[in-house]
Structure 1
Amino acid sequence: MITENQYFDGNVKSLGYETTEGKSTIGIINPGEYTFGTAQKEIMHVIDGELEALLPETTDRQTFKAGSNFEVPANSSFKVKATVQTAYLCQYR
């Protein structure tokens, strides 16, 4: 089953799907700053564009370009800033 998701007044949209390894979403983030909460561990892969992320328990933003990824623990929140439309794959584990 494919699910459709949209957040932040349509500025973040994704399609969700499930494999034997777990749920994932693939989507697009419009330029802007957003705060996401997690229920499960998330592995964010930047496919195209770039994200500046402020991860839990850190004080400095890190830049993640296409081809890179970062992990966010379960039951936490993180902030991202996109200056260009950015495509991502998020794996929930």
Structure 2
Amino acid sequence: MEQLTFEYNAKQKVSRRAHVGVAGSGDLEILIEPCQERRAYVVIRTRSNGFGETWKAVLDRFFTVYELAVSIEINDFGATPGVVSLRLAQAVEVLIDE
């Protein structure tokens, strides 16, 4: 298991939590909570070691579009970058669907 952490500048505060996905069997789970600071914090726990640059590229792309002030916990069990992007998009839908 590897743990990765990332931090981003953020502009948009959110008021809700989100939980999407299921951790297990080649998938991942994303848990998001509002952050009071104008920052985004991401912690990834993954069973696939050595993919830090890939994770960074996916998250850089995400936070270029969504500058959300959130704390994100990702529990990964071998998801592809496409699945990660899909789950992040689903989490944003949960956050903004009021």
More strand by share: 1
User: Whose relative contact order is higher, 1 or 2, with alpha carbons under 8 Å and at least 6 apart?
Assistant: 2
Please indicate the TM-score interval, normalised by the length of the shorter structure: under 0.3
Task: State the TM-score, normalizing by the size of structure 2.
Answer: 0.24
